[in-house]
Amino acid sequence: MGEGEELLHKQMSLRMIGWIKGKEIDLSGKIHWAQIFNDVASLILGVL
């Protein structure tokens, strides 16, 4: 990976982290419930 590519990758990662953190602040309750729903769905699918 070139130096330019690495820099771009870092910028994208930081932007993604910022976006996720922003979502957590906006929808902390909803994200919490979505996570629980995901875990439950995974358990159900694992049992089937």
Q: pLDDT by residue (tens digit) across 7-38?
A: 888 888 888 878 777 766 666 666 677 788 88
Sequence-separated (6 or more) residues with CB below 8 Å from residue 23: 31
Structural domain harbouring 9: 3-47
* Predicted local confidence at residue 29, as pLDDT: 63
Q: For residue 1, what pLDDT band results from cuts at 50, 70 and 90?
A: low
The domain total for the chain is 1
C-alpha 29/C-alpha 26 separation (Å) is: 9
C-alpha 48/C-alpha 37 separation (Å) is: 17
Specify whether the CB–CB gap between 27 and 21 falls below 8 A: no
* Predicted local confidence at residue 25, as pLDDT: 61
* Predicted local confidence at residue 28, as pLDDT: 62
The residue type of 39 is: D
